[in-house]
């Protein structure tokens, strides 16, 4: 008799211990069964995983409601690849007893920019349809200019979190004569609900800007592109420096640091031997000294040494190593 009651209990609680749990489990099961024949059920890729979701109409053809299968998770800021198009998920309902539900915006532009390390970063973004022909910011300009202003939605991550006002992007369908936009406003609050601030969507408002013929790189489609400096790597050693291998005439001391490696590539502590070569008769315009593993060079504000180069050679006594760097003297302005 007891076995019969145990069996009865097990059958009764197979979908959950409480009535509420059982209701949720059955609703999930009905949801899956009901979606199997639905035209809204699509196979997509989210976070490199193929999975099925329900895609239903949203507020426009390019904004849809996306619902996960039970026990599958997506977050704000995740990309959903449907066919060959990227969609950005936002506004996820955290009440996920049955499934997760959020908004998917179709991405229509790939933003490209250069980060602080000199690397080119790209992210798909969705633009707000409510573009306006006004300025996003008052520049106290003498001449009124019509500028297109709109909001872009991009996922929150380590790179996008660093985007700030005045950052510029090239965005156009005409790659040879593109328009450039500048960030005039940044909103990292309204669509970031994650207390850990890992997942979320950043909204940036961009305003049309003037193109800079010198620094905007059309080939790479990156605005304000700065050619990364090549590191000075020689045999078993390296001359490290901040920024570019330049010395600013009239500036402060520029530091060049010696780094030595053993045959296994491990950094080793050896006293450096520096050798400097200047353009003849210009040595008086330079000041330099050594401190530990670093060499400090300062150039005077003297027009005759501008655009010349200082040859810096690094060696070490009793070790097979050699590295040469040509540091160019440039304007301080």
Q: Spell out the residues 6+ positions from residue 333 whose beta carbon is closer than 8 angstroms to its own.
A: none
A 10 A CB-CB count for 50 gives: 9
- Residue 115's DSSP bridge partners are none
Under rule CB under 8 A, residue 332 binds another protein: yes
Q: How far apart are CA 118 and CA 39, in angstroms?
A: 46
Part in contact with another protein (CB under 8 A); list of ranges 68-76, 79-87, 137-145, 262-270: 137-145
Under rule CB under 8 A, residue 130 binds another protein: no
Q: How far is the CB of 117 from another protein (least distance, A)?
A: 14
Residue 252 vs 263, nearer CB to another protein: 252
Under rule CB under 8 A, residue 69 binds another protein: no
**Taking CB under 8 A as the criterion, which residues in 288-307 touch another protein?**
301, 303
**Taking CB under 8 A as the criterion, which residues in 254-283 touch another protein?**
254-255
CB of 314 closer than 8 Å to CB of 274: yes
Residue 255 vs 284, nearer CB to another protein: 255
Residue 78 vs 216, nearer CB to another protein: 216
A 10 A CB-CB count for 328 gives: 13
Residue 31 vs 296, nearer CB to another protein: 296
Residue-by-residue DSSP string for 275-322: EEE-STT-GGGEEEEEETTEEEEEE-S-GGGTT-EEEEEEE-TTS--B
Part in contact with another protein (CB under 8 A); list of ranges 20-28, 119-127, 152-160, 244-252: 244-252
Q: Which two structure tokens, joined as six digits, stand for 324?
A: 């040469």
Q: What is the largest CA-CA distance in the chain?
A: 110
Q: How far apart are CA 104 and CA 108, in angstroms?
A: 12
Q: How far apart are CA 48 and CA 52, in angstroms?
A: 13
**Which one of 45, 137, 273, 324 is in contact with another protein (CB under 8 A)?**
137
**Which one of 248, 268, 293, 319 is in contact with another protein (CB under 8 A)?**
248
Residue 144 vs 176, nearer CB to another protein: 144
Q: Applying CB under 8 A, which residues contact another protein?
A: 137-140, 165, 242, 248-252, 254-255, 301, 303, 331-333
């Amino acid at each position: 008799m007891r076995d019969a009651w145990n069996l009865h209990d097990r059958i009764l609680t197979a979908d959950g211990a409480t009535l509420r749990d059982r209701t949720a489990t059955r609703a999930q099961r009905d949801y899956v069964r009901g979606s199997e024949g639905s035209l809204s059920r699509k196979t997509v890729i989210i976070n490199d995983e193929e999975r099925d979701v329900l895609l239903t109409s949203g507020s426009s053809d390019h904004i849809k409601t996306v619902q996960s299968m039970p026990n599958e998770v997506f977050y704000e800021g995740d990309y959903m690849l449907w066919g060959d198009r990227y969609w950005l998920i936002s506004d996820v309902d955290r009440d996920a007893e049955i499934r997760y539900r959020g908004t998917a915006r179709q991405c229509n532009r790939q933003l490209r920019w250069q980060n602080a390390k000199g690397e080119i970063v790209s992210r798909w973004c969705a633009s707000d349809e409510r573009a306006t022909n006004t300025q996003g910011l008052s520049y106290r300009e003498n001449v009124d200019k019509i500028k297109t202003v709109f909001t872009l939605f991009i996922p929150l991550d380590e790179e996008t979190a660093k985007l700030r006002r005045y950052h510029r992007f090239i965005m156009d369908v005409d790659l040879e004569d593109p328009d450039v936009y500048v960030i005039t406003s940044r909103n990292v609050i309204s669509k970031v609900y994650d207390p850990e601030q890992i997942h979320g969507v950043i909204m940036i408002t961009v305003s049309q800007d003037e193109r800079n013929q010198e620094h905007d790189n059309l080939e790479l489609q990156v605005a304000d592109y700065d050619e990364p400096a090549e590191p000075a790597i020689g045999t078993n050693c390296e001359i490290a420096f901040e920024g570019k291998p330049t010395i600013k005439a009239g500036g402060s001391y520029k530091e060049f640091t010696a780094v030595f490696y053993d045959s296994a590539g491990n950094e080793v502590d050896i006293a450096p031997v520096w050798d400097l070569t200047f353009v003849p008769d210009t040595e008086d315009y330079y000041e330099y000294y050594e401190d530990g593993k670093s060499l400090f060079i300062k150039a005077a504000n003297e027009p005759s040494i501008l655009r010349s180069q200082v040859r810096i050679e690094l060696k070490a006594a009793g070790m097979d190593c050699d590295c040469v760097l040509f540091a160019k003297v440039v304007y301080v302005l």
